[in-house]
């Protein structure tokens, strides 16, 4: 993570090219939303569903650079979702899953005109998912890691009341999950073949628009899909026990946040 922070710091302190005077800003955002995640087998049958509140926190800085601006940020989330699924033997399971995730991103937003901006970004994400044990069924830990490339398009409408609307798409270029269960499954890494995410967000000014500091509301909708992984052998105490894979995942999240910028 320290090495990943280096390009972020360099980008924010670099002096703009083309002799333009520098402008810079910082944003601090908090958000909460309703999240729904489902896993399906190869036949499309649902294996489990998780639902609950997904709070998050982020900080982002930007600085003008040529015909646009460079931006970089950090984000974190802590979640507890209700888990409704079944065991490998088909028994119903109801428990909870604990999530802990961090994100780091760096990008450039190019002005295409007074109303349109095109953004390119790289993002690194880590996510730990801990499914709590219930009765005789052991818990399960999953550690996700991914490097993403993204493309976003932002529109600033002429009408008052909305600062901008942005749609963005992200695809993982390198991603895997490490699965383990204490006393049952030794850690095994599963490469994830394809992960995609779509986001739609709008910024609505509330206070201080056009001044040094401003407060805004950001309603947001997101969708994500992770394809099923290939099978990999797994062991218990070093002894081969079989093969496993990560099922296909689909998730939705609808929420809103508050953003303080200056």
User: In this structure, are residues 258 and 220 in contact, taking their beta carbons and an 8 Å threshold?
Assistant: no
pTM above 0.75, yes or no: yes
Q: How far apart are CA 29 and CA 259, in angstroms?
A: 4
Q: What angle do CA 56, 124, 259 make, to 5 degrees?
A: 30
Q: How far apart are CA 65 and CA 46, in angstroms?
A: 48
Q: Which residues are CB-neighbours of 2 under 8 A, at least 6 positions away?
A: none
pLDDT in tens, 108-158: 999 999 999 999 999 999 999 999 999 888 999 999 999 999 999 999 998
Phi/psi of residue 163, nearest 5 degrees: -75, -55
User: In this structure, are residues 47 and 87 in contact, taking their beta carbons and an 8 Å threshold?
Assistant: no
The fold of 2-10+25-261 is Lipocalin (2.40.128)
pLDDT in tens, 207-239: 976 667 899 999 999 999 999 999 999 999 999
Q: Where exactly are the structural domains of the chain?
A: 2-10+25-261
Instruction: Calculate the alpha carbon distances from 87 to 102, 137, 138 in Å.
Output: 29, 8, 10
Q: How far apart are CA 65 and CA 2, in angstroms?
A: 24
């Amino acid at each position: 993570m320290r090495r990943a922070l280096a390009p972020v710091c360099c980008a924010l302190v670099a002096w703009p090219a083309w002799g333009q005077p520098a402008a810079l800003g910082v944003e601090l955002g908090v958000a909460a939303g309703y999240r729904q995640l489902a896993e399906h087998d190869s036949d499309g049958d649902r294996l489990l569903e998780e639902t609950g509140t997904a709070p998050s926190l982020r900080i982002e800085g930007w600085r003008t650079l040529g015909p646009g601006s460079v931006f970089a940020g950090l984000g974190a989330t802590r979640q507890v979702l209700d888990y409704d699924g079944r065991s490998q033997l088909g028994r119903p399971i109801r428990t909870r899953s604990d999530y802990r995730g961090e994100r780091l991103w760096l990008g450039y937003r190019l002005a295409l005109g007074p109303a349109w901006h095109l953004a390119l970004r790289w993002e690194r994400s880590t996510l730990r998912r801990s499914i709590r044990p219930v009765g005789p069924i052991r818990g399960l830990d999953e550690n996700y890691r991914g490097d993403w490339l993204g493309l976003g398009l932002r529109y600033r409408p002429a009408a008052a009341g909305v600062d901008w609307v942005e749609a963005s798409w992200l695809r993982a270029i390198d991603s895997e999950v490490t699965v383990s269960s204490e006393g049952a499954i030794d850690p095994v890494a599963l490469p994830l073949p394809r992960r995609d995410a779509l986001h739609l967000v709008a910024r609505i000014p509330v206070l201080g628009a056009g001044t040094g500091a401003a407060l805004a509301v950001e309603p947001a909708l997101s969708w994500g899909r992770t394809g099923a992984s290939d099978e990999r052998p797994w062991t218990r105490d070093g002894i081969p026990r079989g093969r496993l894979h990560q099922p296909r995942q689909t998730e939705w999240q609808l929420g809103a946040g508050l953003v303080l910028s200056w």
